Amino acid sequence: MSIELMLIILLPLLGSLFVMSAKDNLLQTFKNAEQAALLVILVNIALIFYLFLSLSPRDIQNGFVAQYSWHFIGIFDFSFGADVLSLMFVFGCQIAMFLGVLGIRREQQNQKQILVYSLIYLSLLNGYFFALDMMSFYMCFAAQLFPLYMLIGFSLTERQHKLLVRLSLHHFLGAMLLLASCIFIFSLKQNDVLLVTLDKLHLSYRKSIFVWGGLFLAFILRMPVWPFHHATTAVWGALKNPLTFLALHVLPLSGIYGFMRCWPLNIPFEISVLTPLFQALCILTMVFAAFGSYAYINAGNKLSNYIFVYDLLYFLAVFLPTDVIRLNISYSVFSFLLITSCLVVLQAHVFRESIRLNVGIKSILSDMPRARIAYCLFVLAALGLPVSAFFWNNFLIVSEIFNFHLYVGIIVVLCITLAGVSLLQNMYVLKDENSSCPDLSDVKDIDFTTFFVMMGVAFLLLLSLVKPLWFII
């Protein structure tokens, strides 16, 4: 069982070595590199299915299906394991990256480098989601930042690099704080500090402030919560490359996963004083993001704000003093990742075409039948209509928020609705066939492969409606 875990973590890394060895600036070599990347991710998806199939109903609730200890560093023992929670996150990330790789087919610049770093990033993400002990968790948490920095750096223009430095400073500050927490934890116990036993550590008052405060801020810094939101949203707005956008999109979700894994149900007193403040900040940011999407004409910004609102919803959910909806959060994040990945790829295609033909994006979808179908489908799914899997899980999450605080629940529902309506507005602009527009006969539709993959994703979402883990039994 352990070999599958190791393969899921290491295969993208090996794939990146293969892509790295390809020659530069040749269309054929890019095709080879792209196919290698797609193959690696497909194998990973197959392995994840295999791991899911080995789940028993008892495991679905809390058991680990696979565990692997890695002694290769010699000083620390790294433990990796998989449960439903981590598998759902990993599965979502693989599909998002798969779609991202398909989305950069027509990109002109730095394709090879972006593929290399995205595969390294994926490998570290998988390691992060599978980490069982504190050391491997921290290592993957911090190491992700380097490929992410390179990915974004290759995708931004010279003028936008200042944004990247600011963003990296946020992220590295989080990594340093987590490192400080790790140091304090390791000074108590030299090795094998498992994430599940973190809340059982006996810490002195001062150390518990350092440990829990460090963990809290480390994950918060990955979230677009005010006052840390500006750099993330600015870079989101500037990114045109779908694969890079998706890589950055996963980062706040990794923060949410961190809270789900490490944060004890009973928040330590030392930090609990601060949590209402952060919850208030989170709600405030959510309201601004929801209303902010109406201030933008740019469709990309509207989608960014939609993602922003949902990230904050999950953030609020993980802070609820209950763990009954933990699996629902992971199911919802899975659907959310799938939906947003498709929308990001479609929007990137639309922008690329509008820039190539030097026309606006208004009614551009009218001459792209495949893209139009996919776009409508995924916007409707993103709205969270009652017939989608996304809806049922969000319904449970929002119910819990209502249970926790009525007014907070009302605000959250309002924000989700506003964000969804802004996407509808977006769709209307893109496919409005009545408005006058320049000649779009030269416009290229999304290719068949991408379209079929998207339909496959839609099918996956449809099956999830019936039962989130339909593929297990």
Partner 1 sequence: MIENILYTLTETSLLAGIAFLFLKMFISKSQESSSFKIAQMFVVFSLASAVLFYNKGILPQYFETSSFSTLAYGISCILVLVWLLLASKWFLNTKEQSSTYFCILALSALLCFSLILKAAHFGVLLASLSFLSVIQYCLFRLSKQNEDLYHAARRYGLISLIFLSLFGFSVFLLVGNLSYTQAAMYITEISPLFKMLIILGILCGIFFFLNIAPFHFWLTDTISPLVLPVATYFNIVSQIALWGLFFKLQTTFFQSLNENLQRVYFAFGVLSIILGIVGANASRFLRKIFASISLYQAGVILLFISTLKENLTSSCFIYLELYLFVLLGVYICFYAFKINGEYPVNLNLLKGVSSSKPYVSATFLFDCVTLLGLPPLTYFMMQFMLLTEIAQHPLIIYIILFGLLSLLPVYLKIIETIFFLKKEQNFDRVDFSFYIYLLIHTVLLIIFMFKPQILLLQMNILN
Residues 301-330 that bind partner 1 (CB under 8 A): none
| Choices 176-184, 242-250, 366-374, 445-453 (CB under 8 A): range interacting with partner 1 | 176-184
CA-based nearest residue to 261, from 107, 437, 421, 84? 84
The reply on whether position 234 binds partner 1 by CB under 8 A is no
Residues 145-164 that bind partner 1 (CB under 8 A): 145-146, 149-150, 153-154, 156, 158, 161, 164
| Pairwise CA distance, residues 136 & 126, whole Å | 11
In the chain, what is the straight-line distance between the N-terminal and C-terminal CA atoms, in Å?
A: 19
Nearest CA to 253 among 80, 71, 86, 443? 86
For CA atoms 216, 176, 205, 260, give the dihedral sign.
positive
Q: Does 390 engage in binding with partner 1 (CB under 8 A)?
A: no
Query: Cβ of residue 166: shortest distance to partner 1, in angstroms?
Result: 10
| Min separation Cβ 175 and partner 1, Å | 8
CB-wise, 90 or 139, nearer to partner 1?
139
Question: In the set 168, 241, 328, 464, which binds partner 1 (CB under 8 A)?
Answer: 168
Segment interacting with partner 1, rule: CB under 8 A, options 98-106, 134-142, 349-357, 418-426: 134-142
Query: For residue 466, what are the contacts with CB-CB under 8 A and spacing of at least 6?
Result: none
In a 10 Å sphere around its CB, with 0-12 CB exposed, 13-18 middle and 19+ buried, how is residue 173 labelled?
Answer: middle
Question: Binding marks (x or -) toward partner 1, 240..269, rule CB under 8 A?
Answer: ------------------------------
Amino acid at 231: A
Query: What is the closest distance, in whole angstroms, from the C-beta atom of residue 122 to partner 1 in the complex?
Result: 17
Does position 186 interact with partner 1 (CB under 8 A)? The reply is yes
Binding-site string for partner 1 from residue 210 to residue 229, where x marks contact by CB under 8 A and - marks none: x-------------------
Out of 91, 138, 245, 390, point to the residue binding partner 1 (CB under 8 A).
Answer: 138
CA dihedral (129, 140, 172, 197) positive or negative:
positive
Compute the least distance from the CB of residue 170 to partner 1, in Å: 11
Strand, coil or helix: 296? coil
Contact 400, 467 (CB under 8 A): no
In the bound state with partner 1, the residue whose beta carbon lies nearer, of 73 and 410, is 73
Q: Could you please report the per-residue DSSP string of 124-152? A: HHHHHHHB-BHHHHHHHHHHTHHHHHHHH
Site for partner 1 in 17-76 (CB under 8 A): 72-75
Tell me how far CA of residue 297 lies from CA of 293, 360, 425, 450, in angstroms: 8, 12, 10, 27
Report residue 150: phi and psi, to 5°: -65, -40
Among 28, 108, 187, 436, binds partner 1 (CB under 8 A): 187
Residue number with CB closer to partner 1 (49 or 146): 146
Binding test (CB under 8 A) with partner 1, winner from 1, 6, 176, 359: 176
CA dihedral 20, 23, 24, 26 (to 10 degrees): -130
Applying CB under 8 A, the span of 166-174, 323-331, 414-422, 450-458 interacting with partner 1 comes to: 166-174
- Residues 295 and 291: their CA atoms lie apart, in Å, by 7
Q: Write out the residues near partner 1 by the rule CB under 8 A.
A: 72-75, 138-139, 142-143, 145-146, 149-150, 153-154, 156, 158, 161, 164-165, 168-169, 172-173, 176, 179-180, 182-184, 186-187, 206, 210
